[in-house]
Chains A and B, each alone.
Chain A
Amino acid sequence: MSDIIRVMIAKVGLDGHDRGVKIVARTLRDAGMDVIYTGLHRTPEEVVDAAVQEDVDVLGISILSGAHMTLFPKMLKLLEARDAEDILLIGGGVMPDEEAAALKAMGVKEILLQDTPPETIVTTIRRLVAERGPK
């Protein structure tokens, strides 16, 4: 109903810094979105709980540790367990095309590889929210 898109971006796992995530946050803010940032070193449970409380349209997770094939399916299950499958899960990171395709088949809405230009992130989010329809 509100036309301002709410996005949560998070990193799960123990890998390092959040420079990339902060750049994405600023890009999305400058595109007029509300961006909730949870900080580093969150568990998948903490991130999904936060996304549920915030009722975000989109949950964007950056995983650079290589654990994406276990973490994304886990997050999908957690969302489902909380009656929150309508939250659109998208992923960022580095992975081969086959793995990205496999994750999308499981229900991750989009995988944006590490060198995705910022405008593409914006247009992808807008498209996914438009496809879902109003809330």
Chain B
Amino acid sequence: MDPRVPSLELVEPVCAGERRAIARMLSRAEAAGPEAREALDLLYRRTGRAHVVGITGVPGSGKSTLVSKLVAALLESGRKAGIIAVDPSSPYSGGSILGDRIRMGEISSHPSVFVRSMATHGALGGLARGTLEAVDILDAAGYDMVIIETVGVGQDEVDVVRATHTTVVVSAPGLGDDIQAIKAGILEIADVHAVSKGDKPESDRTVSELKSMLGLGLPATGLRRAVPVIKTCSPRGEGVAELLAAIDAHRQYLVTSGEYEGRRQSIRERRMLKAAEQVLHDEFERHRQGRMADLLAELSGASISPHTAARRLLAHIGMEVTR
């Protein structure tokens, strides 16, 4: 493929499910350049069919292994799956090692599966810049379920919750203690709980602890439905069919309860706000270049405070703060 193929020329091939075009469009979304804007807008209009599922949990909890099994079950039901596996970048070099594919060998070459790895590149909240556009692309390309795998250790990293229809939290026995789960707010965010590594003897305890915490928390958190807790064992394939059934049932619940449209609308709203923030940030980065020398000199003499300097910098570049 010509490296410089215009993004607009990729729109139809993406919608026709052509893998090379999908892959290149994903790169353009990740780079977030202006050239791709119009193509992404056109693709956005072709979205809305996919069930978007977030899979989150602490590092090493077995997410990728489980996703691989889940997708195998999905394929059996005749559906296609797109997977976006997000991993954190190194804060030192900005580079990253993306290893989720190691656990997805069995399914990643299947013609009805598309797996893409993404690095966060400093973005907070557990998603990379471009992850949600990547969801759009896979949705438009005809993948029935789009799964976002991302590390989540607490409330600060659960952007995925606000971007998906169904959130699955994976807890591994013996990895994080129960108090930690409450503190981190992991309980409230899950639409479905999966307890992984069910072959380990401690897994039954994790299941019953989660269940009792959910039972206690139910009135307080205003949960309107009982959240299923499913024990899985990936090597033996146990609990995988049940997990898929619970994910499907959650979407069904959203539709019949009327919550589905509300959730979709709040995803749209949040994306608008995030995009606006991103634009502000980018504009700021662009304009501040070369405008800081005077202010830095004043700062080094400690004649102004960093806060005052910040307001003057903003005023300098036309982003005046009015209060």
Residues of A within 8 A of B (CB): 1-2, 4, 6, 25-26, 28-39, 42, 45-46, 49-50, 52-55, 82-84, 86, 132-135
Interface residues of B in 34-59 (CB under 8 A from A): 35-36
Main SS at interface, chain A: mixed
**B103: which A residues are within 8 A, CB to CB?**
39
Most B Cβ at <10 Å: residue of A45, A83, A133: A83
Whether B28 sits at the interface, judged by CB under 8 Å, is yes
Which residue of chain A has the shortest Cβ distance to B106 in the bound complex? A46
Which residue of chain B has the shortest Cβ distance to A10 in the bound complex? B101
> Knowing A30-B90, A135-B4 touch, does A53 contact B97 (C-beta < 8 A)?
no
> Knowing A83-B1, A84-B1 touch, does A31 contact B117 (C-beta < 8 A)?
no
Asked if B3 and A49 sit within 8 Å, CB to CB, the answer is: no
15 A–B contacts from the bound complex (CB under 8 Å): A1-B27, A2-B30, A4-B94, A6-B27, A29-B90, A30-B95, A33-B95, A42-B105, A50-B109, A53-B23, A54-B116, A54-B117, A55-B24, A86-B3, A135-B27
Asked if B109 and A49 sit within 8 Å, CB to CB, the answer is: yes
Whether B161 sits at the interface, judged by CB under 8 Å, is no
Q: Size band of the B side of the interface?
A: 35 or more
Asked if A46 and B108 sit within 8 Å, CB to CB, the answer is: yes
Asked if A54 and B23 sit within 8 Å, CB to CB, the answer is: yes
Residues of B within 8 A of A (CB): 1-4, 19-20, 23-24, 26-28, 30-33, 35-36, 89-90, 92-99, 101-103, 105, 108-109, 114-117, 119, 121
**B89: which A residues are within 8 A, CB to CB?**
34
User: CA of A90 to CA of B1 in the docked complex: distance in angstroms?
Assistant: 18
Main SS at interface, chain B: mixed
Most B Cβ at <10 Å: residue of A25, A38, A83: A38
**A26: which B residues are within 8 A, CB to CB?**
97
Asked if B108 and A39 sit within 8 Å, CB to CB, the answer is: no
For chains A and B in complex, what number of residue pairs have CB atoms within 8 angstroms?
106
Which residue of chain A has the shortest Cβ distance to B5 in the bound complex? A135
Asked if A38 and B102 sit within 8 Å, CB to CB, the answer is: yes
Asked if A35 and B3 sit within 8 Å, CB to CB, the answer is: no
User: CA of A14 to CA of B119 in the docked complex: distance in angstroms?
Assistant: 29
**The residue from A2, A28, A31, A53 contacting B116, defined by CB atoms under 8 A apart:** A53
User: CA of A133 to CA of B32 in the docked complex: distance in angstroms?
Assistant: 18
**B1: which A residues are within 8 A, CB to CB?**
83-84, 86
**A86: which B residues are within 8 A, CB to CB?**
1-3
User: CA of A31 to CA of B117 in the docked complex: distance in angstroms?
Assistant: 19
**B33: which A residues are within 8 A, CB to CB?**
1-2
> Knowing A52-B23, A55-B27, A134-B4 touch, does A32 contact B93 (C-beta < 8 A)?
yes
**B97: which A residues are within 8 A, CB to CB?**
25-26, 29, 35, 37
Which residue of chain A has the shortest Cβ distance to B96 in the bound complex? A34
**The residue from A2, A35, A38, A49 contacting B95, defined by CB atoms under 8 A apart:** A35
Asked if B101 and A38 sit within 8 Å, CB to CB, the answer is: yes
Which residue of chain A has the shortest Cβ distance to B30 in the bound complex? A2
